[in-house]
Structure 1
Amino acid sequence: MPASPSTARAINDRLALQLLQQEGPLTAGQLKIMTGLSRPTVADLVERLQGSGLIQVVGEAGAQRRGPNARVYGIIADRAHLAALDVRTRSVTVVVADLLGVTLAKASLPIDGDTGTEPAVEQAAALLERTAKEAGAARLHSVGIGAPGLIDPASGELRDTTGLPAWHRSLVADLQERLPARVVVENETNLAAVAEKRLGAAADRDTFVFLWLGHGVGAALFLDGRLRRGASGGAGEIGFLPVPGTKGTPSAVDCEGGFHSLAGSAAICALAARHGIEADRPQDPAAAALVREAVASGHGGFLDDLAHRLSLGVAAVAAVLDPGCVVLGGEVGHAGGAELAARVEARLAALSPLRTEVRAGRLGGAAVLSGALIAAREAAQDELFAG
């Protein structure tokens, strides 16, 4: 059934806006070529988008051709302001950006583990407000939040998870109540995977597994171009995966004894100590600093032992999903780089008959914040670009 004229206009407008978002400023002629639409249709949509305050003339093109110069159109970046939060166990980082995703202000704040729920929420919310003010954003249109823990697939809310600070869940509810903005919350590992898909190591893959290696471990699953969350939002809780080499087995409320016991930050630090590796990089998380030092100094024994540990978890995932590609992300994956990824891939080839490429993540710990900003940006576009 053919689309109605209003639906066709909305589809064409959104297509043009997506091209302007991805390619930058374009002329009407370039939009005609890229969209395949007729010249009158492009002229109409340009007029509509200008009237809606979404695009404006940002320059001229055609200095090397005869006739009048062609107007160049671009999205009005300050049509909406966005914010992204990376909420960790003991810290929060905020970035405020425009509709094009350009960072306008950024700030971080440590939150002590002894801080009560209400003071912690107030500190995080105040940080967001200060950062928005610094960016000149009088009003935030959309806010993306990346946090550890499970997201309820039915409600989209952060679930109360054992072992995580209560202020995480309260912060989401507080921001939803106090801000005239759309607040979107997603698991941090899922957001990091989205960022690596859009901006990093998995840009050419529709199916891959992203393995987060930081304070804890987690996985995100991209299958056929779609992020898969599972029936309860828990797909990728690889820290609970029973693996050989631990002193016990995990329980429903504690991942000790699971893959976390081999690949979490504390386990990596203990492994490095046994190999006599030390690092003095206070700007890095401890495990990432040690892995970076091992790569720089050529500590092959430590890297082989770590690669063996990681390959146990990756082999289990590959046996079930056969993703063809695994990205080692987070601060540790980024620190290990191609050296660690190659060792994991080689070890994996000996464990599994399934061909699996292993890549190092490109974004490191910044992937969560980048993914949260992508979520905020898409939420704004869904509303503003709806036609």
Structure 2
Amino acid sequence: MPASPSTARAINDRLALRLLQQEGPLTAGRLKQLTGLSRPTVADLVERLAAAGLITVVGESGEQRRGPNARLYGIVADRAHLAALDVRTGGVSVLVSDLLGGVLAEASVPIGGDTGTGPAVEQAVTLVERAAKEAGAASLHTVGIGAPGLIDPATGELRDTTGLPAWHRRLVTALQERLPARVIVENETNLAALAEQREGVARDRDTFVLLWLGHGTGAAVVLDGALRRGASGGTGEIGFLPVPGTRTLPSATDCEGGFHSLAGAAAIAELAGCYGLLTEGQADGPTVAALVGRAVRAVEGRDAVAGRAAGEGPAGAAGPAAAAGRPGAPNGDNASRFLDTLADRLAIGAASVTAVLDPGCVVLGGEVGQAGGRMLAGRVQERLARMSPLRTEVRASALGGNAVLRGALLTARDGAQDDIFAPPAR
């Protein structure tokens, strides 16, 4: 049965808007080419979308042609404003953007562990309101939130999880009460995977697993292009995975003794101490990532010096080699052994995931995954190849810890555009 004229118009309008979102400003002629619609149909939809305030003339094509240049049409970016939040145990980061994802304001606030629930929530909500004001947003249309913990697949709400600050769950409710905006909350690791798939190292993969390596550990599973959450929203809670090399087994309320005990920030810091690489003040997530990065540079410097000694490259001390000679730089051999042992640990978790899901690709995400770069990813891939017959590529995150904010923004943008670009009710 053919679509009614109103349904056909709605379909064409939505197609044109998606193309303008993906390709940027387009002429009516280019829209005709990309949609396959007739010139009169394109002219009608352009007029209709402009009258609705969804698109506007943003310039001219600049093509060499007779007569006036063709007009370029683009989506009205300030039709709606969005916010993205990255909620961590130690604070909140927020960015505010327009409908196309252009960042207008960014801010963050630390929230100490001794801060009460009420004051913590107030700090976070005030941060969002202040960022929106700085961005010139009279109101927010959609807010995307990335938080640690389980998201109830039935309600979409953050579940009350043991070990996480109480203000995390209260924050979502407070934002819904204070802001005239739609609020979408998602697990932080899932958002990181979304960002890596859309903007990072997994853009060519429909199936992959992201292994989150930050203060804690987690995993996100993308199969055939779809994010998998599981029956209770717990897909990827790899911190609870029982693994060899720990002193106990994890429990239902504590991941101590699971993979977290091998690959969490505290475990990596302890491992670094064993190799003489840990200095005072490097015992939490971001600084542990910095420590991993320093180890990588130390190995690069050692290898560069060895290469020059063997006649493989220019003589001047520069780049990694110079860094290796700086006071306080870690010993290259110790740094290499540290990365080898860390790769051994990460491969245990990655091999377990690979054996069950056969994703073909594992992304080492979070701050630690990004800091380890290709050197750490290559070491993990080598070990996986020895442990499993399933061919698996290991890649280092391109976005690191920023992936959560980027994923939250993408989620907010998708939700807002689905609402604003939706066909009118018949």
**Which amino acid is the alignment partner of residue 218 of structure 2?**
G
Using the TM superposition, give the Cα deviation of residue 18 of structure 1 relative to its aligned residue in structure 2, in angstroms: 1.2
* Distance 1:320-1:63 versus aligned 2 partners, 3 A rule: closer
Equivalence for 1:220: 220
CA RMSD of aligned residues (A): 1.4
Using the TM superposition, give the Cα deviation of residue 99 of structure 1 relative to its aligned residue in structure 2, in angstroms: 0.7
Say whether the 8 Å CA contact 2:214–2:285 is kept in structure 1.
no
* Distance 1:280-1:13 versus aligned 2 partners, 3 A rule: farther
Equivalence for 1:158: 158
- 2:413 counterpart of 1:377: yes
**Which amino acid is the alignment partner of residue 13 of structure 1?**
D
1:76-108 deviations in Å (ceiling 9; x for gaps): 111000001100001000100111101111000
Take 2:246 and 2:285, find their aligned partners in 1: how far apart are those partners?
A: 27
Equivalence for 2:318: none
In the superposition, the TM-score normalised over structure 1's length comes to: 0.98
* Counterpart secondary structure, 1:292: helix
- 2:386 counterpart of 1:350: yes
- 2:159 counterpart of 1:123: no
Which moved further from structure 2: 343-352 or 35-44? Answer: 35-44
* Counterpart secondary structure, 1:196: helix
- 2:296 counterpart of 1:295: yes
Percentage identity across paired residues of the two chains:
74
Using the TM superposition, give the Cα deviation of residue 15 of structure 1 relative to its aligned residue in structure 2, in angstroms: 1.4
Using the TM superposition, give the Cα deviation of residue 2 of structure 1 relative to its aligned residue in structure 2, in angstroms: 2.9
**Which amino acid is the alignment partner of residue 386 of structure 2?**
A
Equivalence for 2:48: 48
Take 1:372 and 1:53, find their aligned partners in 2: how far apart are those partners?
A: 26
Equivalence for 1:177: 177
Runs of 4+ in 1 over 4 A off after TM superposition: 279-284
* Counterpart secondary structure, 2:212: strand
* Counterpart secondary structure, 2:347: helix
Take 2:3 and 2:292, find their aligned partners in 1: how far apart are those partners?
A: 55
Take 1:49 and 1:280, find their aligned partners in 2: how far apart are those partners?
A: 59
Take 1:90 and 1:313, find their aligned partners in 2: how far apart are those partners?
A: 26
**Which amino acid is the alignment partner of residue 41 of structure 1?**
T
- Which sections of structure 1, spanning at least 5 residues, go unmatched? none
* Counterpart secondary structure, 1:328: strand
**Which amino acid is the alignment partner of residue 166 of structure 2?**
A
Equivalence for 2:319: none
1:334-371 deviations in Å (ceiling 9; x for gaps): 00001100000000000000000000010010000000
Larger Rg, first or second structure (1 or 2): 2
Say whether the 8 Å CA contact 1:280–1:289 is kept in structure 2.
no
Take 2:338 and 2:9, find their aligned partners in 1: how far apart are those partners?
A: 59
Using the TM superposition, give the Cα deviation of residue 159 of structure 1 relative to its aligned residue in structure 2, in angstroms: 0.4
Equivalence for 1:331: 367
Which moved further from structure 2: 116-125 or 65-74? Answer: 65-74
- Residues 23-34 of structure 1: pairs in structure 2 closer than 5 A: 23-34=23-34
Say whether the 8 Å CA contact 1:269–1:286 is kept in structure 2.
no
- Residues 77-226 of structure 1: pairs in structure 2 closer than 5 A: 77-226=77-226
Say whether the 8 Å CA contact 2:215–2:285 is kept in structure 1.
no
Count of aligned pairs: 387
In the superposition, the TM-score normalised over structure 2's length comes to: 0.89
**Which amino acid is the alignment partner of residue 123 of structure 1?**
Q
Equivalence for 2:258: 258
Using the TM superposition, give the Cα deviation of residue 117 of structure 1 relative to its aligned residue in structure 2, in angstroms: 0.7
Say whether the 8 Å CA contact 1:315–1:348 is kept in structure 2.
yes
Take 2:9 and 2:215, find their aligned partners in 1: how far apart are those partners?
A: 48
Using the TM superposition, give the Cα deviation of residue 280 of structure 1 relative to its aligned residue in structure 2, in angstroms: 8.4
1:90-149 deviations in Å (ceiling 9; x for gaps): 100010011110111100000010111111101100011011101100110100000000
- Which sections of structure 2, spanning at least 5 residues, go unmatched? 300-334
Take 1:201 and 1:269, find their aligned partners in 2: how far apart are those partners?
A: 27
* Distance 1:284-1:155 versus aligned 2 partners, 3 A rule: closer
Using the TM superposition, give the Cα deviation of residue 279 of structure 1 relative to its aligned residue in structure 2, in angstroms: 5.9
Say whether the 8 Å CA contact 1:98–1:104 is kept in structure 2.
yes
Take 1:284 and 1:356, find their aligned partners in 2: how far apart are those partners?
A: 27
Take 1:280 and 1:100, find their aligned partners in 2: how far apart are those partners?
A: 43
